């Protein structure tokens, strides 16, 4: 029963689980800290714990889906996600919320890993980058809608209801997976979950400098976004004085930048090629991060709307670059690995979520009530994006 449009829509939903799980509750982070008597660093751990669990658990989903198929593994992951989201909604303490968020990530990463693998199954090596860019263009609305919806839910009903919405979203995805998805893995590998072949597969990937260059470019470009995800609510709401709904509107401006980047990918990747597009996107990352840091150092990021613009507009430029780097980097990394697309997708995801977790922890430790830590981390990730690609993907 699975058709092209249904597969595309379902992949969008599966991949959107990741950004929705982080972005929906971003406007609530300061109030979560107050409600659960937690510090900024503890509240930020709800993000870093999510990213850490996301990074490690997805390493198992790739080989499992290579052996048993995408459908049963995706169903199991979404069931875990629904249960953990419910636990988040009823968390009685910050410690309980941190553990529930880690469990939530253990389910959510199935959607991201298997979404990319399904795209590789259906569209093949030639169409994967453009298909992932198209998915990214539509998915860009998830992080745009997430903070806006989360800001209003926070204002009118409280932070716990944001997690209740995620439970509902998970149940809808589960129904689609069970009732309508046909299996897409035509190359099931009965040895994919054996420890020796699995380690051999991962060793093969790590030894491939071209794969590694693409994967690290994706990881560091996403790291800049996660610096903004980790720090923007504390900087824009607590330091610059924005309300949660206004903050959500600024966040949506950044997502518009990402959407623009993915549309540029769809329009120009076939003409310019993956490598040129990644160089372009990484350069835009550096330009956006550099402008953001310069504005902070110059003292332009003062309380109020004007000060927020000095941080958010350069971040939107950075997001244009990320919208170019991520789909092209993912497509480049997966091109040569049709028979272990799950493992290749999982390892790539591990890299960018592990780096995101480290960036989040770094913000929690560096943030001292000002604005400088956020743009410094974004700019550093832009530099690392360009350097990793330029040094490793040498034709």
Residue 386 · residue 285 · CB < 8 Å? yes
User: pLDDT over 70 for what percent of the chain?
Assistant: 91
C-alpha 221/C-alpha 223 separation (Å) is: 5
Between residues 113 and 382, the one the model is more confident about: 382
Per-residue pLDDT, 271? 85
**Lowest mean pLDDT, pick from 37-51, 140-154, 189-203, 367-381:** 140-154
pLDDT in tens, 163-184: 999 999 999 998 888 887 777 7
pLDDT in tens, 217-226: 999 999 998 8
Say how many C-beta atoms besides its own lie within 10 A of residue 371's C-beta.
26
Per-residue pLDDT, 306? 85
Per-residue pLDDT, 123? 67
**Lowest mean pLDDT, pick from 132-146, 281-295, 307-321:** 132-146
How many residues are present in the chain?
395
Q: How confident is the model at residue 113 (pLDDT cuts 50, 70, 90)?
A: confident
Average pLDDT over residues 382-392: 93
Residue 101 · residue 57 · CB < 8 Å? no
C-alpha 342/C-alpha 69 separation (Å) is: 10
Burial class for 164, CB neighbours closer than 10 Å (0-12, 13-18, 19+) = middle
Q: Please provide the distance, in angstroms rounded to a whole number, between the alpha carbons at the two ends of the chain.
A: 42
What is the three-class DSSP state of 140?
coil
Most confident residue range from 86-90, 247-251, 345-349: 86-90
Per-residue pLDDT, 129? 64
**Lowest mean pLDDT, pick from 43-57, 205-219, 307-321:** 43-57
pLDDT in tens, 269-279: 878 888 899 99
Per-residue pLDDT, 186? 64
**Lowest mean pLDDT, pick from 112-126, 225-239, 324-338, 348-362:** 112-126
Is 153 a residue whose pLDDT tops 90? no
Per-residue pLDDT, 1? 45
Axis crossing angle, helix 195-207 with helix 341-366, rounded to the nearest 10: 70
Helix, strand, coil % over all residues of the chain, rounded to 5: 85, 0, 15
C-alpha 38/C-alpha 95 separation (Å) is: 9
Mean pLDDT of the chain: 84
Average pLDDT over residues 200-214: 87
The answer for residues whose C-beta is within 8 angstroms of residue 262's C-beta and 6 or more apart is 133, 134, 136, 137, 140, 323, 324, 327
């Amino acid at each position: 029963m699975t058709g092209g449009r249904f597969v595309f829509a379902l992949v969008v939903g599966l991949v959107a689980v990741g950004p929705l799980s982080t972005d929906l509750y971003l406007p609530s982070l300061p109030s979560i800290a107050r409600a659960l008597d937690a510090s900024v660093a503890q509240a930020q751990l709800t993000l870093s714990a999510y990213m850490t669990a996301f990074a490690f658990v997805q390493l198992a989903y790739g080989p499992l889906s290579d052996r048993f198929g995408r459908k049963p593994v995706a169903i199991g992951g979404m069931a875990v996600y629904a249960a953990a989201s419910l636990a988040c909604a009823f968390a009685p303490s910050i410690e309980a919320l941190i553990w529930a968020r880690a469990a939530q990530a253990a389910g959510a990463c199935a959607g991201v890993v298997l979404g990319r693998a399904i795209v590789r199954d259906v569209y093949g090596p030639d169409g994967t980058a453009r298909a992932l860019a198209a998915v990214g263009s539509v998915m860009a609305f998830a992080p745009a809608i997430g903070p806006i919806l989360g800001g209003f839910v926070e204002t009118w009903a409280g932070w716990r209801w944001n997690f209740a919405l995620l439970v509902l979203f998970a149940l809808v995805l589960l129904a689609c997976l069970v009732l309508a998805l046909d299996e897409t893995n035509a190359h099931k590998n009965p040895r994919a979950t054996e420890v020796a072949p699995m380690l051999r597969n991962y060793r093969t990937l790590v030894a491939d400098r071209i794969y590694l260059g693409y994967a690290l470019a994706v990881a560091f470009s996403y790291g800049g976004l996660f610096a903004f995800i980790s720090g923007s609510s504390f900087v824009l709401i607590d330091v610059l004085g924005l309300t949660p709904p206004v903050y959500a509107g600024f966040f949506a401006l950044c997502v518009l930048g990402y959407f623009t980047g993915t549309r540029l990918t769809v329009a120009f990747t076939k003409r310019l090629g993956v490598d040129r597009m990644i160089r372009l996107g990484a350069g835009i990352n550096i330009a956006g991060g550099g402008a953001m840091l310069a504005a902070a150092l110059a003292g332009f990021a003062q309380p109020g709307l004007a000060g927020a613009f000095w941080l958010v507009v350069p971040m939107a430029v950075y997001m244009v670059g990320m919208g170019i780097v991520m789909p092209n980097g993912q497509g480049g990394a997966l091109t040569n690995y049709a028979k272990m697309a799950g493992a290749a997708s999982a390892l790539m995801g591990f890299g960018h979520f592990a780096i995101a977790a480290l960036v989040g922890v770094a913000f929690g430790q560096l943030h001292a009530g000002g604005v400088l830590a956020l743009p410094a981390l974004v700019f550093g990730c832009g530099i690392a994006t360009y350097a990793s690609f330029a040094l490793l993907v040498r034709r």
